[in-house]
Amino acid sequence: MSEPKPVTKPESKSTSKPEPIIDAHHHIWRLAETAWLNGPPVKRIFGDYEPIRKDYLAADFMADVVPNGVVKSVYMQVNVAPGKEIDEAKWVQSEADRVGFPHALSSYANLFQDNVGEVLDQLIACSNTKAIRQQIHWHENPQYRFADRPDVMNDPAWRRGLKEIEKRKLIFELQVFSHQMENALKLARKFPDTTFILLHCGMLQDTSAAGVAAWRKGMKGLSTCPNVMVKISGIGTFERACREETWRPIIEHTIELFGAARCLYGSNFPIEGMWTSYANLISVVKACLSRCSHAEQRAVLHDTAARLYGL
């Protein structure tokens, strides 16, 4: 009698799905409605922008990100012509209604305007509006400068506008350089009921020893304010590259200071797409998070953004 053959168990196929990602900082635009992309090229913070002087619609963004695990996203305003911010928000909302992306809007409002409250009410009539960005970063290099002075956030008239944001429980997207972080710290303490999201890991432009020390000092101060979060985004802006060796120390130090529950990922596409693919960007960010626990990685890539923007 022959011996029974051993039972071979079928190989189990993995049913686990990739961890979902929320891209909490990206753009879409219509070239014809985005004045700064038109006309003669000028020097900008991110270099030669000829590759992005074209329409980049929600469907284009989805083609870049959905294959890489992105399930939801947050649109960031793109500085359309003055007075067109309501039209911008309405168009982005229409894209979201049509194709399902983006899921939240960070719109523009000029906080100096006397009628900023009325503008905010029109913006939040677009159901996906969750945040406001008015870029207030200033640098001695005109190429890196946006605001007309470094201390805009100290102006009483500007702060009255911020109060209107606070009343409506909107997030304020805070874009400053390290030399502005002391004033930003005072601002965050003055408005403890406002959620601030510091963009682009604090925009580390000066990578000299002194520059990194100033950035670390400013970031440490802001980390003491529980109402300040940090967006891990736009790190390639000044180097114009996406490399683990330069991104890792910035990302790891930011998470060490703020904790993963206060950090969230954003691609800054299609700007960042001028020097990297989306697949490579995600790969580099994940590599930079590899020393974090699974829960921390999940927070940065999904959960923090879901909580803050109500996604």
Residue 229 has a pLDDT of 98
Mean pLDDT computed over 142-169: 93
- Return the minimum-mean-pLDDT range out of 17-26, 85-94, 99-108, 246-255: 17-26
Distance in angstroms (rounded) separating the CA atoms of residues 143 and 270: 20
Is-contact 55 91, C-beta < 8 A?
no
Contact (Cβ atoms closer than 8 angstroms) between residue 226 and residue 195: no
What is the band of 50 on the pLDDT scale with cuts at 50, 70, 90? confident
**Res. 6: pLDDT tops 80:** no
Greater model confidence, 174 or 139: 174
The number of C-alpha atoms within 13 Å of 192 and in the hemisphere containing its C-beta is 4
**Range name among 6-20, 30-44, 72-86, 243-257 with the lowest pLDDT average:** 6-20
40, pLDDT greater than 90: no
* Tokens of residue 247, six digits: 């991104």
**Lookup: tokens for 39:** 């006309």
Helices 278-288 & 244-258, crossing angle to 10 degrees?
A: 50
**Residue-level pLDDT at 5:** 39
Percent of the chain with pLDDT over 70: 95
Task: Calculate what percentage of the chain has a pLDDT beyond 90.
Answer: 82
3-state SS string over the chain? CCCCCCCCCCCCCCCCCCCCEEEEEECCECHHHCHHHCCCCCCCCCCCCHHHCCCECHHHHHHHHHHHCEEEEEEECCCCCCCCHHHHHHHHHHHHHHHCCCCEEEECCCCCCCCHHHHHHHHHCCCCEEEEECCCCCCCCHHHCCCCCCCHHHCHHHHHHHHHHHHCCCEEEECCCHHHHHHHHHHHHHCCCCCEEEHHHHCCCCCCHHHHHHHHHHHHHHHCCCCEEEEECCCCCCCCCCCHHHHHHHHHHHHHHHCHHHEEECCCCCCHHHCCCHHHHHHHHHHHCCCCCHHHHHHHHHHHHHHHHCC
pLDDT over threshold 80, residue 18:
no
CA 181 distance to own-chain centroid: 18
Interatomic CA distance for residues 279 and 32, integer angstroms:
28
Give the C-alpha separation, 172 to 115, whole Å.
18
Asked if residues 58 and 269 have their Cβ atoms less than 8 Å apart, the reply is no
Phi first, then psi: give them for residue 101, nearest 5 degrees.
-130, 145
Q: What is the CATH class of 27-233+242-309?
A: alpha beta
- Cα angle for residues 228, 229, 233 (degrees, 5° grid): 135
pLDDT given at position 175: 97
Q: Please state the rounded mean pLDDT for residues 140-151.
A: 85
Contacts of 78 (CB under 8 A, 6+ apart): 27, 29, 34, 88
Query: For residue 280, with 0-12 CB atoms within 10 Å meaning exposed, 13-18 middle and 19 or more buried, which class applies?
Result: middle
Q: Residue 46: what pLDDT?
A: 81
The mean pLDDT value of the chain amounts to 92
Q: How confident is the model at residue 135 (pLDDT cuts 50, 70, 90)?
A: very high
Task: Give the residue from 84, 89, 162 showing the smallest Cα distance to 125.
Answer: 89
- pLDDT for 264 equals 98
The predicted structure's pLDDT at residue 138: 83
pLDDT in tens, 250-270: 999 999 999 999 999 999 999
Look at residue 16 in the predicted model and tell me its pLDDT: 55
Is-above-0.85 flag for pTM? yes
Distance of CA 297 to the CA centre of its chain: 17
